[in-house]
Amino acid sequence: MTLEIFNYDFMQNAFMAGTIAAVFAAVVGFFAVLRGQNFASHALSHVGFAGAAGAGLLGVNPATGLLILTLMAAMGMGVIGEKAAKNDTAVGMVLVFALGLGVLFLYLYSDFAGRAMGILFGNLLGVSRQLIKNMFIYSLLGFAILAFIARPLLFVSLEPELAEAKGISLRFMAILFLILLALAVTEASQVVGVLLVFTLLIGPAAIAIHCSKTVWVGIGLSVLLGVGFVWAGIVLAYCTDWPVSFWISALSFIGYLLARNFRS
């Protein structure tokens, strides 16, 4: 394998976009696993599909529609709180309705149907420099919020009852974190698509938690794994002409299986 892969602009864009998304998703995903909110990322990605499809129908960039609707859903989930989160039937019906809306939007605008594959499974090799700039801005905003709430968020995630007794608002922290999760879902969707968000957002974090004993080491390992999976996925896709999303999901799955065996 030579360095000729970097001679192509679209490959350079893929590495830049993939790295940005992987780093941010790995950090946010670690807190999601720690807080037991894996399902929330899955839910937001499904809602995001409807947002992306609806944006296409209105002539707006799909990534913008995905971000707006996931942010709205995240804030709604945060405000409603634990009662809704524990009602799997209600949440499941909302997700089904969101997917149905996405299908309807694609049907109403048939010219947009060709971009459905990119929304569902990602199109990392087709990202633009403008999208990369937007992703970088979203990441900076997300990390700024995370830097502000990192310590109380960690406290709330590990000891919620004690944190509440100390005067920390669990609902406020939940809303802020779900906003971060919405940003991470939006970025990860550009790499692996809304259906495979779990593989980039939760996969590296779950592996890191199995293989580390401290939070900060775990976050660092999660980032290294996320970036490694994306880079390796791009290279393997270049060599085999198979989808990048497949390779990233396969590497994440294999890594998780190895981590489970390592822990046991």
- Mean pLDDT, the chain, as a whole number? 86
Q: Which fold has domain 12-257?
A: ABC transporter involved in vitamin B12 uptake, BtuC (1.10.3470)
Three-state secondary structure call for residue 15: helix
- For residues 5 and 231, the model is more confident at 231
Asked if 182 contacts 71 with a C-beta cutoff of 8 angstroms, the reply is: yes
Query: Mean pLDDT over residues 61-66, rounded?
Result: 84
The DSSP call for residue 59 is T
Of 227, 234, 231, 225, residue with least CA distance to 254:
225
Least confident stretch, 32-41, 53-62, 209-218, 245-254: 53-62
Query: Structural domain boundaries of the chain?
Result: 12-257
Does the pTM exceed 0.85? yes
CA gap 211, 209 in Å, rounded: 6
CA neighbor of 45 nearest in space, from 183, 236, 248: 183
pLDDT tens string 89-132: 656 676 778 888 888 887 787 666 566 667 777 888 888 899 99
- Of 108 and 214, more confident: 214
Say whether 212 sits in a helix, a strand or coil. Answer: coil
pLDDT in tens, 135-151: 999 999 999 999 999 99
Model confidence at 86, pLDDT cuts 50, 70, 90, reads very low
pLDDT(164) > 70: yes
What does the pLDDT look like over 39-49, one tens digit per residue? 788 788 888 88
Section 54-80 average pLDDT: 83
